[in-house]
Amino acid sequence: MVEESLETTVRLNNGVEMPRLGLGVWKTNNTNAKESVSSAIQQGYRLIDTAKQYGNETGVGEGIREGLEKTGLDRKDLFITTKVFNGDQGYQSTLDKFEGSLKRLQLDYVDLLLIHWPVDGKYLDTWKAMEKLYHDGKVRAIGVSNFDVERLQNLLDHAEVKPVINQMEFNPLQQEKEILNFAQEQGIQLEAWSPLGGGAALNNPTIQKIADAHNKSTAQVIIRWDWQRGIVTIPKSAHPERIAQNSDIFDFSLSDDEVQAINDLDENKASIWYQDFGWYEPNGGVDTGSVDKWDDSPADYDK
């Protein structure tokens, strides 16, 4: 049996190796992001996921720097993801504003760049810019986030470089089966944001029963379920002890029946309702929304 750990990777469709379990930092301010990222790296995490929209790239960059200093690791040992902000979409804007992300992260390149949301009328031009960044060596892989099947197919019809990832809300109660099946057919890796599904999933009696049988938390069972389903997973936490617990999933396995029991919890509800967002305009207009600017943020997010 191959040993599993936080350094275990999946090979993406462009040949790049990506860790299968990492740290997400959504809704985390810069101070907490720095502490979380540094702690995670010291605990063995190698995948860190952020976004310009989160307003914490600066804190993530500081956490990366501190984590590398304390562990003696090199930059190449980490896998860093960020995302193109809705208001930056379009060809030239994507190229220009990407430099701001690199500066805030204190990096020369990122391992994975995603389109954060498919802004209609913009995302194809955004993708062309990302292909240039990929060919220029500024990013090692490019992908998307929150793309339904229709938009992902449209992107594939126009893309020179196939996306390596579709990052989706994915958890026991929201399994996006149509999107998952399409991604698998296309050789695109699914990555789960909000993998724990909040209180509804964490307090689910079926998951609790499985957790009790393994002497594990419901969060650990869900992350293990993702692992066995082949989903890349980025649970978010700002607490070092929770970050450690979320990675303590390699000393047990779920049976086929237990995996199926969690599969059966899917409520089959689409999580993506584009019309609920101000930037969604079928004719190509876009309300850019805003970056989540924290009081502790020193960054200029207009760049």
- Residue 168 falls inside a structural domain: yes
- Residue 303 falls inside a structural domain: no
Please tell me the predicted confidence (pLDDT) of residue 302. Answer: 73
Domain hosting residue 235, numbered range? 16-276
- Residue 11 falls inside a structural domain: no
E strands present in the chain: 9-11, 17-19, 23-24, 47-49, 79-84, 112-115, 142-145, 165-169, 189-193, 232-233
- Residue 225 falls inside a structural domain: yes
- What is the CATH number for 249? 3.20.20.100
Side chain identity, residue 44:
G
- Residue 287 falls inside a structural domain: no
- Residue 281 falls inside a structural domain: no
pTM: 0.95
What is the C-alpha to C-alpha distance for residues 81 and 141, in angstroms, rounded to an integer? 9
What is the C-alpha to C-alpha distance for residues 226 and 112, in angstroms, rounded to an integer? 20
- Residue 153 falls inside a structural domain: yes
Please tell me the predicted confidence (pLDDT) of residue 288. Answer: 59
**Cβ–Cβ under 8 Å, residues 31 and 296:** yes
Just list the catalytic residues. Answer: 54
Please tell me the predicted confidence (pLDDT) of residue 299. Answer: 73
- When divided into structural domains, the chain yields a total of 1
Please tell me the predicted confidence (pLDDT) of residue 191. Answer: 98
- Residue 86 falls inside a structural domain: yes
10-residue averages of pLDDT along the chain (303 residues): 89 98 95 97 98 96 98 98 95 97 98 95 96 98 96 98 97 95 98 92 97 98 98 95 97 98 91 66 57 79 74
